[in-house]
């Protein structure tokens, strides 16, 4: 068996990659175990120096890696290079400020202290939509901590998967610090159960994450889950509409509208609904869709044919339920998996499709009459990743934000991850945190050391 990588812009086959055999899986798990034994004993300064070198290589190779990302998942080249540079920023951050996250903590009034120690190899199941950043945002803190990683990357971005293993080696990482595992999902239970694996992290669908969590729970292993979202974008009647539209369009359609943390349900106060919709539709329709290698392209293709088909089915279901297509809504003729920037209004809140996550270039816009209704609608989803609130009244915006059930809320800004801040959700969006101080400590052993006289 082998994996195929196809260019979503043309549908053409780029390359095939062989799966690892059972013997190779065993070899790689042992390699990760040995790598942890070596790396966990390396001085902190050595680990920090490795991250600096990692950042330098990412910056030097940003264009090459960006082109590889474009070829395998289709986002515009500028965004792809930005993803690589963001990974470099993350490496530099943890090489600098990250050490403070792991400092020993004293317990006031006692002879005790808490020491944050590495726990061992961590198994990561990673998606295709941010093929460098998703993996490196997980890996970078683990490298600082002293853990090794075993990464099962998405089947369609195996070129990226191999390049990241090479990157870690080129940056001076020891054998076994980063181990790529090219296997089907059916092999994951075996890996999770292996005693050499100490923890598991997943970025993916709710179904996949919960299945992995069940397996990890049976094995008594910690799990971190980042499982997507249907982020509400609340526009109160006193909002700066031009700013809200600008950030809203950016949030919804960047990364080819294939991001877990992104505005997807726009909840707009009734008095400004018409103004917002008119401006939003104009801005969305103006986004140039086309070859992601061209500098002026703002929206590339969806990553796979089945993903575009899923978007088509969801839009059809929304229309059948009463939604109106204000712009877009139909796949263009020709090669590739393109779908235009689409805006839907009038979808009933109780329609089944209204509660689904749209992982394609579709924005749903709903009006609300009262602040209480806005909060109720924002929380009327199984997801709880992030949210946005726009208002010129900061006290009011903070009050609304406090009542939205999510892992992060952005006021007069757009949702995103940042290496300096914790990232993660609640409810169906997952458990645990990545990035920032909380993320750095998430997969450590917080050991109590109590010294008597």
Active site residues: 226, 260
CA angle 13, 17, 20 (to 5 degrees): 160
Q: Which of these, 341, 356, 128, 347, lies nearest to 252 by C-alpha position?
A: 341
- Rounded to whole angstroms, the Cα distance separating 258 from 248 reads 15
Plot region of 298 (φ>0 → left; ψ -120 to 50 → alpha; else → beta) = alpha
- Rounded to whole angstroms, the Cα distance separating 136 from 73 reads 17
Q: Which residues pair with 263 in a beta bridge?
A: 231
Do 114 and 105 form a contact (C-beta atoms < 8 A)? yes
DSSP 157: G
Q: What is the b/e burial string over 262-273, where b = at least 16 CB atoms within 10 angstroms of the residue's CB?
A: bbbbbbbbeebb
Do 74 and 80 form a contact (C-beta atoms < 8 A)? no
**Phi and psi for 148 in degrees, rounded to 5?**
-100, 165
Q: What is 223-242 written as a DSSP string?
A: EEEE----EEEEE-TTS-HH
DSSP H or E stretch at residue 203: strand 199-203
């Amino acid at each position: 068996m082998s994996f195929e990588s196809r260019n979503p812009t043309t549908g053409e086959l780029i390359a095939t990659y062989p799966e690892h055999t059972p013997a190779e899986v065993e070899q790689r798990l042992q390699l990760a175990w040995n790598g942890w034994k070596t790396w966990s004993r390396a001085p902190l300064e050595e680990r920090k120096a490795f991250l600096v070198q990692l950042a330098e290589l990412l910056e030097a190779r940003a264009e090459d890696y960006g082109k590889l990302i474009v070829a395998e998942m289709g986002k515009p080249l500028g965004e792809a290079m930005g993803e690589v540079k963001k990974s470099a920023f993350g490496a530099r951050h943890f090489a600098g400020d990250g050490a403070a996250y792991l400092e020993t903590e004293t317990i006031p009034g006692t002879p005790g202290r808490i020491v944050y120690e590495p726990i061992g190899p961590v198994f990561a199941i990673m998606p295709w939509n941010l093929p460098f950043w998703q993996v490196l945002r997980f890996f970078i803190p683990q490298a600082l901590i002293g853990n090794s990683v075993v990464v099962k990357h998405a089947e369609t971005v195996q070129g990226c998967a191999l390049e990241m293993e090479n990157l870690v080696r080129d940056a001076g990482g020891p054998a076994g610090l980063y181990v790529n595992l090219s296997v089907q999902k059916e092999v994951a239970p075996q890996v999770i159960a292996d005693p050499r694996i100490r923890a598991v992290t997943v970025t993916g669908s709710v179904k996949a994450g919960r299945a992995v969590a069940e397996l990890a729970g049976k094995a008594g292993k910690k799990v971190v889950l980042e499982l997507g979202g249907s982020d509400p974008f609340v526009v109160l009647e006193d909002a700066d509409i031009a700013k809200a539209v600008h950030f809203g369009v950016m949030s919804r359609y960047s990364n080819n509208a294939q991001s877990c943390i992104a505005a997807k349900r726009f909840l707009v106060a009734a008095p400004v609904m018409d103004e917002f919709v008119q401006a939003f539709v104009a801005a969305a329709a103006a986004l140039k869709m086309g070859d992601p290698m061209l500098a002026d392209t703002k929206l590339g293709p969806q990553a796979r044919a089945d993903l575009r088909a899923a978007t088509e089915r969801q839009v059809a279901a929304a229309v059948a339920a009463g939604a109106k297509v204000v712009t877009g809504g139909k796949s263009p003729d020709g090669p590739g998996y393109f779908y235009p920037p689409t805006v839907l209004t009038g979808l009933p809140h109780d329609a089944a499709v209204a509660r689904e996550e749209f992982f394609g270039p579709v924005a749903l816009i709903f009006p609300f009459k009262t602040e209480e209704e806005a909060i109720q609608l924002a929380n009327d989803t199984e997801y709880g990743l992030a949210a946005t609130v726009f208002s010129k009244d900061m006290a009011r915006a903070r009050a609304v934000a406090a009542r939205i059930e999510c892992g992060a809320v952005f006021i007069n800004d757009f949702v995103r991850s940042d290496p300096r801040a914790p990232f993660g959700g609640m409810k169906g969006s997952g458990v645990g945190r990545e990035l920032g101080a909380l993320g750095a400590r998430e997969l450590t052993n917080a050991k109590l050391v109590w010294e008597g006289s």
